[in-house]
Structure 1
Amino acid sequence: MIRKNSEYPLQPPRERGTGRAFVFALVMHVLLGFFLYHGIQWQNSTPEGEEAELWTEVPDTATPRPVPPPPVPTAPPAPPLRDEQADIALQEKKRQQQEAAREAQLAEQQRQQKLQAQQEAEAKRQQQLAADQAAQKTAAAKQKQLQQQQQQQADKLKQQQLAEQQKQQQLKEQQQEQQKQAEAEAQKKADAQKAAKAKAQAEAAAQTKKLDTERRERLAQMQGAVGGTSSSSNGLGKSGTGSGSGGTAASPGYADKVRRAVLPNVSWGGEKEGLETVVSVRCSPTGTLLNATVSRSSGNAAWDAAALRAVRRTDPMPLDTNGKTPDNFLITLRPAS
């Protein structure tokens, strides 16, 4: 019988049948003693002697003959083998047979023990083989489970990457949509600014036209009132700062005086190349600014607004040499270099 759950797997197996072999050997020794005691008949009697008769030839006295040598004594013949020696030989033969039987029995026991050891070794080998196969199956199952886990992790990572790519794509599309909306709003704002600029230019042109019409009407009224023709003169500043025209003539130095008064009020930090704005001004004789509009735009609405703001800050306008301010005049403004 093989122990399946052994605490010491490397300990050699215990020999089985030791007690039975000891009992069997004891019985055999008892039987051997019995046969030796009753099977051998001990001979204690003295063996009988042998008798022999010796015959000699009578010598012839007539003719002397040579005396023969004395006979050589012969050894008595060996006594025949008696029953005692036969019994001893038989006992020796029985002993040898018993020894042979014991040796055969011992060889059989050794053979049985060897066979049992081989069977136990084979059973142990089979058990070890079954354990190895079970371990291999367990390892294969663990490997398969590990591969499944790795495949699941790879699938999960792939899904995460796909979701991240979709998220990035959606974000990119949103950014593109926002950029398109921003561009559309910028274009809309630019169109609105362009429309507002065109409207401002149209309004400025209409205002200038209106002022010119009013100025002509006043000149016509003044001419009709004085009954004659009055002369008008224009003054141009060397730096393009301004010019004046109207019912009251401006002196030659009035343009410089207006330029010196307006330029400190100009606040501009943008580009300066090619900007020139003409502002139409209407004042009272005391220099009070009545109205100021852009007569000719520079094309830059910001600079036009800065120039118009500087003119409106210059209130009142400087007086001319005659103590009065021309009622209508134009001021041409450029950014200071």
Structure 2
Amino acid sequence: MTRKNSAYPLRPPRERGTWRAFVLALLMHVLLGFFLYHGIHWQNSTPAGAEAELWTEVPDTSVPRPVPPPPAPVAPAPPVQNEQADIALQEKKRRQQEAAREAQLAEQQRQKLQAQQEAEAKRQQQLAQQQAEDLAAQKAAAAKQKQQQQLADKLKQQQLAEQQKQQLKQQQDEEKQAQAEAQKKIDAEKAARAKAQAQAEAQSKKLDEERRARLAQMQGMAGGEGSTGNGLAKSGTGSGAGGTAASPGYAEKVQRRVRPNIVWAGDTQGLETVVAVRCAPTGTLLSATITRASGNGQWDDAALRAVQRSDPMPLDVNGKTPASFTITLRPAG
């Protein structure tokens, strides 16, 4: 609260009934002086005398007696005493008036002191009120500043949470992109492997056809010379490898050659694939086809690729590879 400047000085409040009290006090003083004056005058006046006759016997009224003379008049009090009483009364009035003036001055001083005390109390009250308002304003400002700080902290936390959310989203996007690129790379590698496999199969087919042509040519040459042998062993059946021209231990040789080339990470329960193989006497693989599938196309493809990667096939004890035989493959488990 701010003080307002005023053109009038600060004055104590007027007390009600001041003139009324003053008039009553003056009236009481006048009555007191009147009673004192008459009291002093009554004490200074000489009382009138009185006479009385005492009789020892009842007088005889039959004989007339002489009438006593009237009493002498009482002389009035000397005027000196009246003047002294007037002087004393005037002195008393003067003293009473001085006492009244002193009482009035004392009352005025008391009222002035009371007004000063009231003004000082009012000033102290205003000062305390001003201090209380200043303290309240400081508390309000501190509370407002604290609220603003809390709001700023909350906004900062929200921004930090949003940044973390964006970073997490960016990281997830990067991971997804990396996974997509990895998957794309895997798909590209698969496509490249498929293409290479297709090319290899095409080339193998082409070589197979060439080998067949050469083999037919060789067989024709051998038949034309009137040879009694079959030239190449016939195809046989059985577990591992078989054929009419194969030795008893040749099947194990074939298994040792093909087994390391099998790449399979899937199920191993109940899978069995039979692959028919045609080879040149030098072991060169001419063809490889699946004669009995396992029911799992992926395993059948893996088994066929393992046989194709085993080119050339091992030689038998006679230094030649059988012309045809079958290989039964099962996943290791």
* TM superposition score category, shorter chain reference: 0.5 to 0.7
Distance 1:264 1:181, change over 3 A: closer
Distance 1:189 1:231, change over 3 A: closer
Structure 1 length-normalised TM: 0.61
Q: Please report how far the alpha carbon of residue 82 of structure 1 lies from its aligned counterpart in structure 2 after TM superposition.
A: 3.0
Structure 2: give runs of 5+ residues left out of the alignment: 1-45, 50-61
Q: Please report how far the alpha carbon of residue 231 of structure 1 lies from its aligned counterpart in structure 2 after TM superposition.
A: 8.3
* Contact 1:208 1:295 (C-alpha < 8 Å) held by counterparts: no
* Contact 1:276 1:334 (C-alpha < 8 Å) held by counterparts: yes
Are 1:263 and 2:255 an aligned pair? yes
Identity of aligned residues (%): 16
Q: State the match for 1:207 in structure 2.
A: 207
Q: Please report how far the alpha carbon of residue 303 of structure 1 lies from its aligned counterpart in structure 2 after TM superposition.
A: 3.0
* Contact 1:280 1:329 (C-alpha < 8 Å) held by counterparts: yes
Residues 51-110 of structure 1: CA distance to partner in whole angstroms, max 9, x if unpaired? Answer: x9xxxxxxxxxx953588x99999977846433333222222222222222211111111
Q: State the match for 2:284 in structure 1.
A: 291
* Contact 1:263 1:310 (C-alpha < 8 Å) held by counterparts: no
Task: Kindly report which structure 2 residues correspond to 1:1-337, keeping only aligned pairs within 5 A, or say none.
Answer: 64-66=63-65, 79=77, 81-226=81-226, 234-239=234-239, 241-244=240-243, 250=244, 254=246, 256-265=248-257, 266-267=259-260, 268=262, 270=264, 271=267, 273-283=271-281, 289-292=282-285, 294-296=287-289, 300=300, 302-307=302-307, 315-319=314-318, 325=320, 328-335=323-330
Q: Please report how far the alpha carbon of residue 279 of structure 1 lies from its aligned counterpart in structure 2 after TM superposition.
A: 3.1
Distance 1:138 1:228, change over 3 A: closer
* Contact 2:279 2:321 (C-alpha < 8 Å) held by counterparts: no
Distance 1:230 1:184, change over 3 A: closer
3-state SS in 2 of match to 1:331: strand
Aligned equivalents of 2:308 and 2:73: distance in 1?
Answer: 183
Q: Please report how far the alpha carbon of residue 232 of structure 1 lies from its aligned counterpart in structure 2 after TM superposition.
A: 7.1
Distance 1:231 1:184, change over 3 A: closer
Aligned equivalents of 2:309 and 2:195: distance in 1?
Answer: 21
Aligned equivalents of 1:293 and 1:77: distance in 2?
Answer: 194
Q: Please report how far the alpha carbon of residue 293 of structure 1 lies from its aligned counterpart in structure 2 after TM superposition.
A: 5.2
Aligned equivalents of 1:230 and 1:141: distance in 2?
Answer: 114
3-state SS in 2 of match to 1:200: helix
3-state SS in 1 of match to 2:316: coil
Q: Please report how far the alpha carbon of residue 233 of structure 1 lies from its aligned counterpart in structure 2 after TM superposition.
A: 6.3
3-state SS in 2 of match to 1:237: coil
Aligned equivalents of 2:331 and 2:141: distance in 1?
Answer: 90
* Contact 1:318 1:325 (C-alpha < 8 Å) held by counterparts: yes
Aligned equivalents of 1:129 and 1:228: distance in 2?
Answer: 137
Aligned equivalents of 2:273 and 2:70: distance in 1?
Answer: 184
* Contact 1:242 1:255 (C-alpha < 8 Å) held by counterparts: no
Partner amino acid, structure 1, of 2:223: Q
* Contact 2:263 2:302 (C-alpha < 8 Å) held by counterparts: no
* Contact 1:307 1:333 (C-alpha < 8 Å) held by counterparts: no
Structure 2 length-normalised TM: 0.62
Aligned equivalents of 1:164 and 1:199: distance in 2?
Answer: 50
Aligned equivalents of 2:315 and 2:228: distance in 1?
Answer: 31
* Contact 1:282 1:292 (C-alpha < 8 Å) held by counterparts: yes
Partner amino acid, structure 2, of 1:295: A
* Contact 1:317 1:325 (C-alpha < 8 Å) held by counterparts: yes
Distance 1:329 1:122, change over 3 A: same
Structure 1: give runs of 5+ residues left out of the alignment: 1-48, 53-62, 245-249, 284-288
Residues 246-297 of structure 1: CA distance to partner in whole angstroms, max 9, x if unpaired? Answer: xxxx35xx475422333355245735525333333333xxxxx542355226
Q: Please report how far the alpha carbon of residue 302 of structure 1 lies from its aligned counterpart in structure 2 after TM superposition.
A: 4.1
Partner amino acid, structure 2, of 1:154: K
**Alignment RMSD:** 3.9
Q: Please report how far the alpha carbon of residue 214 of structure 1 lies from its aligned counterpart in structure 2 after TM superposition.
A: 1.7
Aligned equivalents of 2:306 and 2:127: distance in 1?
Answer: 105
